[in-house]
Amino acid sequence: MTGALLLILQAVIYFVTMAAVFRARHQFGIGIFVCVLGVMHFLETYLAAVFFVQLPFGLISPGSTVMFSGKLMMFLLLYIKEDAETVRQPIYGLLVGNCLMVVLALILRLYGGVAELPGYRPDLTFLDDMGILMIWGTALLFLDSIALILIYEKLGQRIANTLFRRIFLSAAIVLTIDQLMFFIGLHLVSGVPVSALYGGWIAKMAVAALYSALLVGYLRYIETKPTLAGPEPLLQVFDRLTFRHRYEDLLQKTGKDMLTGTSDRGQFEALAQSLIDRALAEGKPVSLLMIDIDHFKNINDQHGHVTGDNVLKDVARSLGGSLRSGDRLFRYGGEEFVAICHDLDRADAATLAERLRANVEATTFVEAGVRATVSIGVTTADGGPVSTERMIRDADARLYSAKRQGRNRVESAPAG
């Protein structure tokens, strides 16, 4: 069997087996998938250090080319179908386990009377070398996984309609850096020649293309149900990957305004810019509507804060029922709401805002005898980049123009 065919066969068997185990996670749990990844880590590192196949373009290690690259792609699959918090668990487990192995091996050196068996002799130097390479490889895996997912998300804002290209470019960039960094450690520990550097890189690019094609096929024909709505804010992904889950839990708990049920100001701050950037990157306009309840202070003063709270709930319900399914509504603060509307030009945004205004005016409020109206400022961006602050500022200016002209009105203008 030729070396190239050997590597291809290994890669196909690796992916098919791992994909089958991953597919079965709903029946047997994700733990089996994680254990299969972890149990091969020693073999992967050992082969990367000592087993090479000579191809015309250089030395190729199945451990690094097939197994490590495959593991990285499995982490990407885990992220696509699950989430960033699930991805980090096996990475941290591998890192802790490898460090523990090195510490325990060092402790064994304290015992000088090791029993010798016929034909066998403990090679602690080999164990030391493997331990160093495994820790170095796991540290790189940690950084590689974060980089792979962040690049995957970033590319998703630019070329989200080409899944193969998105996956392949993400893997190619990360594996290029990884090849250089792991070779440095491998060369220092094992004296591997430089032909393994460029040979391994060429092989990794080929394997990245193969794994990308297999991964696309899996996502399109095996697990077709989408689990991620789209590219997430990069800082949000980074927070979860680096174990800042308490922050994420807090964000999820406070992501909804407790009174109105809309998304709150924190969610607006976290998501607004990415929503705007995504629309503009796709060549579509995006509109921001700043909505303010007219004379809300008078409602509180005349009828009390309980009535005011009910008015806020009723207005939020009216606004939410009048927006399109893909629009996002946030309570910005006090009696102000903000809506971000994807693929809505200035004229259509003004029409939508007028509908919101009219529906609020026609709302029958739960508090008898209470009426409320809203003024709305609208701004639209159809070419980027445009900051959230700029759109808020422009919409706010239009809002106060509507108030100066008598309230219960809509005013619109282009962003900037």
pLDDT along the chain (416 residues), means of 10: 83 93 85 85 82 86 90 88 72 80 79 74 75 83 84 68 85 93 85 87 94 92 60 53 49 72 90 91 93 94 92 94 91 95 92 95 88 95 88 94 94 76
Residue 120, amino acid = Y
- Say which DSSP state 118 is in: T
CA angle 309, 314, 320 (to 5 degrees): 125
**pLDDT given for residue 119 in this prediction:** 73
The answer to whether 148 touches 72, Cβ cutoff 8 Å, is yes
Helices and strands per DSSP (H, E), number in the chain: 17, 7
- What pTM did the predictor assign? 0.54
**pLDDT given for residue 337 in this prediction:** 97
- Say which DSSP state 287 is in: E
β partners of residue 305: none
**Sign of the alpha-carbon dihedral angle for 74, 153, 141, 208:** positive
**pLDDT given for residue 148 in this prediction:** 87
**pLDDT given for residue 384 in this prediction:** 74
Residue 195, CA distances (Å) to 7, 55, 191, 202 in order: 17, 10, 12, 11
> 63-74 pLDDT, tens per residue?
889 999 999 899
Alpha carbon 344 to its chain centroid, in Å, reads 26
**pLDDT given for residue 245 in this prediction:** 47
The answer to whether 171 touches 208, Cβ cutoff 8 Å, is yes
**pLDDT given for residue 163 in this prediction:** 83
The answer to whether 191 touches 161, Cβ cutoff 8 Å, is no
Give the whole-angstrom CA distance, residue 305 versus residue 120: 83
Q: Which of 6, 5, 3, 35 is nearest to 18 (CA)?
A: 35
**pLDDT given for residue 1 in this prediction:** 61
Name the CATH superfamily, with its identifier, for domain 254-414: Reverse transcriptase/Diguanylate cyclase domain (3.30.70.270)
Write out the two tokens for 312: 């806020």
Q: Which of 320, 333, 317, 331 is nearest to 264 (CA)?
A: 331
**pLDDT given for residue 234 in this prediction:** 53
Q: Which of 214, 270, 281 is nearest to 76 (CA)?
A: 214
**Sign of the alpha-carbon dihedral angle for 113, 114, 117, 118:** negative
Domain ranges of the chain: 3-241, 254-414
> Per residue in 314-351, is it b (16+ CB within 10 Å) or e — as a string?
bbbbbbbebbeeebbbbbbeebbbbbbbbebbbeebbe
